[in-house]
Amino acid sequence: MNIVIAADKKYMKIFKDSLTRHNILGFENELKSNFISRIADHYNPHILIVVGGVRCRKTDFFDILPELRNRCPTMRIIYFFGRRLTDETQQNYIEVCEKMFRYGYHEVVPYDMYERGLQTKLEEIIETPLTPEDIKKIIADRQEEKIHTETLVHNIDRIIDTTPVSFDKAEVEAEYDDTRIVRYDEPPERLTEKQSEHITIAVGTISEKQAGCTMTALEIAFLLLKQKQSVAVFLEDETYERYIGYHGINYAPNGCQVNDLTLFPLSVYAEKREFIKFSVCDVGFAPIVTEDAAYPIFENAPIKICICSFNEWDVSILADYLNSPLPYIKDINYIFFPVSQETFSKFNQQMTKGHCKAFRTRNSPSYTKPCELNVDTYSRILNKYIDIQIKKKHKRVLGLF
């Protein structure tokens, strides 16, 4: 069997000494944002072994299980709990089982990694996959916890329901058109000629609880696309991978096209930007994280947009940012979403007094069809920087026009 092991370095010797009959392709001592691509594309193993406590960087193992299942449907995942089952650890073990069982993985091994005899058991664990019934038996066999056994086994029964929930685009979107999806193995021909003019529109946020950056970036891009402009959206790499995954594209590092809009991962911005007139970049929290790789993109973008909130728990963050010594604070276009007109009007008076530019948006039917309020907001922002008159729909008055 070809095996990849995701575990702390201190466990490497245990596995090397025990799994001599198998081919260990590699050890992953840290789960990074490219973990899925490394497993699916670089290694493609028969078995992935994960030991609880492995260091994670921007990637939680249980959050990526659905995508791992999608990319590697035949790969076994064996999760070593890393601790003995005791009164203190049993609830955590049940929670791990729940997360694993939800996606059809039942091999949650409840052993201490330094437990006597574990090395001799490893070969058996590899050769004989654990089943839900095995997990129940492991719990029931714990003599010191007979009082809790019935409850624990009931909990395992409760979480074994693996009825799938599908958000497949063909089922969710009845009129979905797959013919408008293109993956680029190489940069498209029309992006090989450098543009004489290039403008970056950076969309970020200053609140960790604030959503709307990606939606705003896509809506602005579609607005420019409808004006027949050369435009592309650069999404944060993890967001990009999830987005293309929904559209049935497993791997497209050179970009893709969905609904006639060109998209790239943000990591290739530097090499692709000169071929596009308008680069709309979703930079996430970059406005407040100077260490973020996307921070220079936001800092140097001629058009800066910051998604904000007037919620009571966000106002202090906003005030601190607006009163910071950054030289471009007054140049940023602050979009508030979601917010009522009444609340916006009240707080906007203070924004105006502080010489800050505030705008308001709301939910659109789809990012491919921004609502009239959003079209008006984006038009007011863009027309201050570029000579493009965005056409806006005018409401009829009393049916006379």
Is 191 within a domain? yes
Instruction: Evaluate whether residue 168 is within a structural domain.
Output: no
Is 301 exposed, middle or buried (CB count within 10 Å of its CB: 0-12, 13-18, 19+)?
buried
For residues 147 and 198, state if they share a domain. Answer: no
**Does residue 114 fall inside a structural domain?**
yes
Residue 261: which CATH number? 3.40.50.300
DSSP tag of 162: -
Are 304 and 155 members of one domain? no
| Strand 181-183 relative to strand 199-205, pairing | unpaired
β-strands 357-360, 333-336 pairing: parallel
> Would you say residue 208 lies in a domain?
yes
Do 55 and 108 reside in the same domain of the chain? yes
Label the pairing between strands 108-112 and 55-56: unpaired
Q: 352 and 290: one domain?
A: yes
In a domain, 389, yes or no: no
Query: Two tokens at 20?
Result: 């001599």
Residue 310 inside a domain? The answer is: yes
Q: What is the pLDDT of residue 159?
A: 56
Q: Are residues 151 and 184 in the same domain?
A: no
pLDDT of residue 38: 92
Local structure of 64: helix, strand or coil: coil
Same domain as 201, residue 309: yes
The low-confidence residues of the chain, meaning pLDDT below 50, are 143, 174-176, 186-187, 189-190, 394-401
Non-local CB neighbours of 374 within 8 Å, separated by 6+ positions: 219, 361, 362, 364
Looking at the fold, whether 117 and 193 belong to one and the same domain comes out as no
pTM of the model: 0.56
Together in a domain, 350 and 219: yes
Instruction: Report how far residue 2's alpha carbon sits from residue 17's, in angstroms, rounded to the nearest whole number.
Output: 16
Could you tell me the residue range of the domain that residue 45 belongs to?
Answer: 2-159
User: Which residue reads 């140049």 in tokens?
Assistant: 331
Q: What is the CATH number of the domain that holds 134?
A: 3.40.50.2300
Contact status, residue 343 vs residue 314, Cβ threshold 8 Å: no
Answer yes or no: is 171 within a domain.
no
Question: Do 254 and 315 fall within a single domain?
Answer: yes
Total domain count for the chain?
Answer: 2
Question: Do residues 43 and 92 share a domain?
Answer: yes
Tokens of 137: 């038996």
Q: Are residues 52 and 183 in the same domain?
A: no
Q: Is residue 298 part of a domain?
A: yes
Are residues 301 and 229 located together in one domain of the fold? Answer: yes
pLDDT for the residue 395: 47
Eight-state DSSP code of residue 281: E
Report d(CA 72, CA 382) in Å as an integer. 43
